[in-house]
Amino acid sequence: MTHIPISVTVDGTVYDVEVEPRRLLVHFLREDIGRVGTVVGCDTSNCGACTVLLDGKSVKSCSVLAVQADGHAVLTVQGLAEGEHKWHPVQEAFKECHGLQCGYCTPGMVMAAVDLLQENPNPSEEEIREGLEGNLCRCTGYHNIVKSVEYAAELMGGKS
């Protein structure tokens, strides 16, 4: 199959790679450039485990073709913290509030929460639950994920 050259910025680094037109963005991330922090949980775009930010907006990277990311910037959970010691407030909040157990949904859940708080810095519980509807978790029952997002909003100064 023909390969197409693409240039994608991932977590601040530019990657020039040739991919099949059908290659999913998530497989490009995981298998072509080794950014394995983003994971795949389903094949129907229901679970959201693969959520990343594409030019700052959350997308499910299983539902975007790698070629569609050509010339764009992807931020994954691996690029969220500023260095080892400056965690993103959402990461801090998830640890503080026990918002994760097995951690498999976490990369997507965290990125979805980052996007949610960008859109709405002071969400109600209902808005958090609706906002994260596209990200499934089987471990936490979401109770502590909701708490985590509320606490992250507080850390980010949105929560009055």
Chain residues in the site for other proteins (CB under 8 A): 20, 22-23, 27, 30-31, 34-44, 46-47, 49, 76-78, 80-81, 87, 91, 94-98, 100-107, 110, 125, 128-130, 132-146, 151
Q: How does strand 73-75 pair with strand 4-10?
A: parallel
List beta partners, residue 51: 60
CB of 116 to other proteins, least distance (A): 11
| Helix pair angle (106-119, 143-155), 10° resolution | 50
**Which C-beta is closer to other proteins: that of 57 or that of 98?**
98
- Do the Cβ atoms of 139 and 102 come closer than 8 Å? yes
**Which C-beta is closer to other proteins: that of 71 or that of 138?**
138
CB of 126 to other proteins, least distance (A): 8
Residue type present at position 68: Q
Query: What 3-state class would DSSP assign to 94?
Result: helix
CB of 106 to other proteins, least distance (A): 5
